[in-house]
Amino acid sequence: ATLLLIVLVAAPLAGSIPLACLSAILLYVAWNMGQWKEFAQLRNFRMPYRVTLLAVFTLTVVLDLTVAVEVGLVVACITFIYRISSLSRCERLTDAQHGELARAGDGVQAHRLYGALFFGAVKLVEDIALQLPRQALVLDLKNLIYVDSTGIDALLDLSRRCADSQVRLVVCGLAHQPREIAQRSGWLAMIPPQDQYMDLAGALASIDPSRQGA
């Protein structure tokens, strides 16, 4: 009520204020809104974050806030996709790391996936599918935190290629979200229960010829 009363009483008086005074007030407020000290903190961040902040700031000044927010959202999305893609990787396990692989011979491969398997990182699985082993393929997914629909499509295609090539596919270490989408998509149903393991040790033990003979 107080603010409404002030607006009703004082609003007509605003027309009597010289524009020079209003422009000075506008410049003072704009200068304080700049938060110039924060720009010194940019050196603590990666280059994509610096570019995003400077681009949004420049567009706000040169054009308007609406354009700056729209461009900022697009740049932030691109930066996020690039960052997540760079964190996602595939590591091929070696015989020196795991004796079971050495005993299994050249016909067995084991790969460990890290990060997120989404449309920006499906090439990791596609590369595995192009170089399938002769006998068995072990996928350690313990460090895979997220899988989207494109990623699960890549895994489905990998399973089909393994089946066509008569290569045994062994999966281990599925976390909560990857396991959930694997069940919904039917990918987990394509893998026999005896080829699903909680950890890498169990998966490698299943391909160890010495243990199978025992």
pLDDT digits over 170-182, tens only? 999 888 999 999 9
Which stretches of the chain drop beneath a pLDDT of 50? 213-214
End-to-end CA distance of the chain: 87
Domain shared by 119 and 209, yes or no: yes
Task: Find the CATH number of the domain harbouring 177.
Answer: 3.30.750.24
pTM, two decimal places? 0.67
Tens of pLDDT, residues 107-127: 888 999 998 888 878 889 999
Give residue 42's identity as a one-letter amino acid code: L
Q: Where in the sequence is the domain holding 26, given as residue range(s)?
A: 16-85
∠ CA 120-122-123, rounded to 5°: 100
**How far is residue 118's CA from residue 145's CA, in Å, rounded to a whole number?**
11
Domain shared by 80 and 108, yes or no: no
Looking at every residue in the chain, the average pLDDT score rounds to 84
- CA 145 vs. chain centroid, Å, equals 9
Residue whose entry in the numeric block shows the structure tokens 């110039």: 36
Name the β-bridge partners of 59: none
Domain shared by 96 and 196, yes or no: yes
Structure-token pair, residue 99: 């004796």
Q: How far is it between the farthest Cα atoms of the chain?
A: 98
Whether residue 41 is contained in a domain is answered as yes
Count of domains for the chain:
2
Question: Using the 8-state DSSP alphabet, how is residue 17 labeled?
Answer: S
Whether residue 11 is contained in a domain is answered as no
| pLDDT, position 210 | 59
Q: Which of 85, 112, 145 is the last residue of a domain?
A: 85
Q: CA gyration radius for the chain?
A: 29
| pLDDT, position 80 | 82
Whether residue 30 is contained in a domain is answered as yes
Whether residue 59 is contained in a domain is answered as yes
Whether residue 99 is contained in a domain is answered as yes
Question: Residue 91: helix, strand or coil by DSSP?
Answer: strand
